[in-house]
Structure 1
Amino acid sequence: MSSMASARPRSAHDFLIEHAQVLSIALFFILCCALFSILSPFFLLPDNLLNVLRQLAPLLITAVGMTFVITTGGIDLSVGSIVALTNAVCAIALQAGVPWPAATLLVLLLGAIVGWAQGWFVASQKIPSFIVTLAGLSILRGIALLLTRGYSIPIDEPGAAPLLTIGRGWVAGIPIPAIIAVLVLAVGAFVLRETRYGRYVTAVGANAEAARRVGIPSTRILMSVFVLTGLTSAFAGLLIAARLGSGSSNAAEGFELQVIAAVVLGGTSLMGGTGTILGTVLGALTIGVIGNGLILVHTSPFLVQIVTGAIILLAIWLNTRIFSRLSAGRRK
């Protein structure tokens, strides 16, 4: 009986350690919601919450791909530039009379090709992903600027109406972009946790050489996660173009930092080997809630970025401290 009693606390403790980072960001998210609901009577209004979800949809979708990349121990700094490029190409194609389904496929293919090219440099040529995607950040944004000449390209073709509906429409009182984001998140969570591919991604992030020695195609796995970020970024670019009704080379500036912050805030390790889509969702929602809440309480727009960054840093620091203490307690 005594052995059974002692086993129960260890089991609960192990569960707490395993999910410590997700639980801590969930608690932080709840505290943020509670704080802003007290400070502003408008925060919990359904219209405001649905607006937050609609605006966060591109971030949530791109964060799925970024979760896979960071789980392998890499990073993709080019996602914002991919969004801008695909956003601009979508508008240009539609303005040139390309049917919207073909334009959609073109944009997704472009995102996948960009991701494959960067993945090839990282996986096959062994160039650090930070360097490759930093170069991609500059190159892709420059191409977008070159294509648009710095102007916004309106999407005003009658045939593009279905695409605009995807970005602006509602189903059962819920924004379509939010529904799409939930579907992408569900697929991403299933793939990462329940499939062989997801296990391979985690194994490569934990120890790429050991994974290769047991027969896991590490090079192909590394390339594939960058293809995934290219696809999700292109999808985000489509949604932004559809919601705003235009394409611009200035779209998604600073977007990559928000995506990375959401993933890391959610508990995915920058060192690789650990990834969680649920944590990514909570991280993205926390960032969205903080930004929305600060605006509702009339914080100066010049201070919003400073306060948001400081809060995110504090949350990650507390998250890390809690996780480290629990891990130390487990070793004892």
Structure 2
Amino acid sequence: MKIAGRLSQEQIVFALAILLCLGFAVTLPGFLTATNLLNLVRSVSILGILGVAMGLVVIGRGIDLSLVATMAISVAWALQLISVGVGTPEAVLLGLCFCLAVGAINGILIAYVEIPAIFATLAMGTAIYGFGRYFLFSLDVIYMPEVSNSLLWLGQGRLMGIPVPIYIFLLVCAGAALFLRYTKYGRYLRAVGDNLQAARITGVPARPIIVLQYMLSSTIGFVAGMVTAGSVASMNTRIANSTFIYDVILVVVLGGIGLSGGRGRVSNVIVGTLLIGVLLNGMTIMNIEYTVQNVIKGIILLTAIVIDTILNPRDEQTAQQGDI
């Protein structure tokens, strides 16, 4: 989106990230070291991967509030299966199938039953968390069995001195960008997000595309979950009840992907992740309390949504109705 006809929100956010970097470099000793910068990018790589998943859905004019819950429960179940003797590849495949099933149900509820996405995915996230805790495992934290220590490489490994999570983040970004730009279904997804009725008239299979976008979101979420489990050798399912999903939305909206749908690129997610990463790293070095950090992030998210609402009204009627 363009602001004041000159700079896009993406360019402004990137400039703010650079300014924050410079400010922290001057005021915080050790901020601009190579080690800290690598740790900074590594620490937000999972957030960035989830941001790509959410970005695809938002471009399709949806939202997925079940993303974090689906990630946590599916990966925790996979680890639980491994601990009871299921092979690591089979357990990971079952966890992925679980994610695909949740994404398909989300898409069906939204596309065919026509439940608003925010309510369908909010209810699904709550249901999935309860289902997992009652039927699949009983503990809050599922630890990675020693037999599957090879999965630790996803979160703790390095290639040429660079943490593997950064490579995975870049691969997910590249895959999503190629999907949106060069595939028929990527163009369909953008068309559905831009104008659902017009897309239907032109022959776009709108309902299957909506189902597809939620299945893609769940799949990418599973990748983020595997990286998370590899980083800490466990999966804490309580993350499903945390504010993490709002951090994901913050990255997407702050980066410049309009909630009105049909607009945005993967690069928007990258710059949004960069800014939040720099901000969180700086606040951590300054020992700012976690609750205060949440207040700051909440204010930034609210500001970004207000700006997005002004610049990208959801439709012509919304833009014209004014105050009611």
Is the shorter-chain TM-score for this pair beyond 0.5, marking a shared fold?
A: yes
**1:313–1:28 distance in 2 versus 1, CA, 3 Å:** farther
SS at 1:42 equivalent:
coil
Partner of residue 145, structure 2: 156
Note if 1:182 corresponds to 2:175.
no
Alpha-carbon separation, structure 2, partners of 1:239 and 1:160 = 13
Is the contact made by 1:84 and 1:144 (CA closer than 8 Å) also made in structure 2? Answer: no
Query: What amino acid is the match of 1:305?
Result: N
Is the contact made by 2:188 and 2:204 (CA closer than 8 Å) also made in structure 1? Answer: yes
**1:133–1:318 distance in 2 versus 1, CA, 3 Å:** closer
Partner of residue 238, structure 1: 226
Note if 1:288 corresponds to 2:277.
yes
Q: Which one of 310, 318, 322 corresponds to residue 299 of structure 2?
A: 310
SS at 2:238 equivalent:
coil
Alpha-carbon separation, structure 2, partners of 1:120 and 1:99 = 31
CA drift of 1:195 comes to 2.4
CA drift of 1:15 comes to 11
Q: Which one of 232, 241, 247 corresponds to residue 235 of structure 2?
A: 247
SS at 1:250 equivalent:
helix
Alpha-carbon separation, structure 2, partners of 1:282 and 1:113 = 31
After the TM superposition, which residues 127-138 of structure 1 pair with which residues of structure 2 at under 5 Å, given as runs?
127-138=115-126
Is the contact made by 2:3 and 2:9 (CA closer than 8 Å) also made in structure 1? Answer: no
**1:277–1:86 distance in 2 versus 1, CA, 3 Å:** same
Number of residue equivalences = 310
Percent identity at matched positions? 34
Alpha-carbon separation, structure 2, partners of 1:178 and 1:322 = 32
| Structure label with greater radius of gyration | 1
Where structure 2 has 5 or more consecutive residues not aligned to the other structure, the ranges are 314-324
Query: What amino acid is the match of 1:231?
Result: T
Is the contact made by 1:118 and 1:133 (CA closer than 8 Å) also made in structure 2? Answer: yes
Q: Which one of 80, 83, 98 corresponds to residue 95 of structure 1?
A: 83
Task: Summarize deviations over 1:220-269 as a string: whole Å, max 9, x none.
Answer: 11110000111111111111111111123213522221111111111111
CA drift of 1:75 comes to 0.7
Is the contact made by 1:152 and 1:249 (CA closer than 8 Å) also made in structure 2? Answer: yes
Task: Summarize deviations over 1:260-306 as a string: whole Å, max 9, x none.
Answer: 11111111110111021101111112112111110111223331111
After the TM superposition, which residues 100-111 of structure 1 pair with which residues of structure 2 at under 5 Å, given as runs?
100-111=88-99
**1:318–1:205 distance in 2 versus 1, CA, 3 Å:** closer
CA drift of 1:211 comes to 0.5
- With 260-269 and 57-66 compared, the bigger mean Cα shift is at 57-66
Is the contact made by 2:59 and 2:259 (CA closer than 8 Å) also made in structure 1? Answer: yes
Q: Which one of 96, 113, 131 corresponds to residue 101 of structure 2?
A: 113
Query: What amino acid is the match of 1:128?
Result: P
Is the contact made by 2:255 and 2:271 (CA closer than 8 Å) also made in structure 1? Answer: yes
Task: Summarize deviations over 1:65-107 as a string: whole Å, max 9, x none.
Answer: 2111111111111111112102211220121122222222222
Partner of residue 257, structure 2: 268
Note if 1:143 corresponds to 2:131.
yes
Query: What amino acid is the match of 2:285?
Result: L
SS at 1:251 equivalent:
helix
SS at 2:237 equivalent:
coil
Is the contact made by 2:156 and 2:163 (CA closer than 8 Å) also made in structure 1? Answer: yes
Partner of residue 16, structure 2: 28
Alpha-carbon separation, structure 2, partners of 1:221 and 1:16 = 34
Alpha-carbon separation, structure 1, partners of 2:89 and 2:205 = 34
SS at 2:198 equivalent:
helix
Alpha-carbon separation, structure 2, partners of 1:86 and 1:260 = 21
Where structure 1 has 5 or more consecutive residues not aligned to the other structure, the ranges are 1-13, 325-332
Alpha-carbon separation, structure 2, partners of 1:19 and 1:117 = 39
Alpha-carbon separation, structure 2, partners of 1:263 and 1:15 = 17
Note if 1:49 corresponds to 2:40.
no
RMSD across aligned positions (CA): 2.3
Is the contact made by 1:89 and 1:247 (CA closer than 8 Å) also made in structure 2? Answer: no
CA drift of 1:218 comes to 0.5
Q: Which one of 215, 236, 250 corresponds to residue 227 of structure 1?
A: 215
CA drift of 1:141 comes to 1.6
- With 23-32 and 147-156 compared, the bigger mean Cα shift is at 147-156
Partner of residue 5, structure 1: none
Is the contact made by 2:79 and 2:145 (CA closer than 8 Å) also made in structure 1? Answer: no
Alpha-carbon separation, structure 1, partners of 2:4 and 2:167 = 31
Query: What amino acid is the match of 1:80?
Result: V
Is the contact made by 2:253 and 2:301 (CA closer than 8 Å) also made in structure 1? Answer: no
Alpha-carbon separation, structure 1, partners of 2:243 and 2:57 = 18
Partner of residue 299, structure 1: 288
Q: Which one of 215, 229, 233 corresponds to residue 203 of structure 2?
A: 215
Alpha-carbon separation, structure 2, partners of 1:68 and 1:191 = 10
Query: What amino acid is the match of 1:164?
Result: L
Q: Which one of 206, 210, 214 corresponds to residue 194 of structure 2?
A: 206
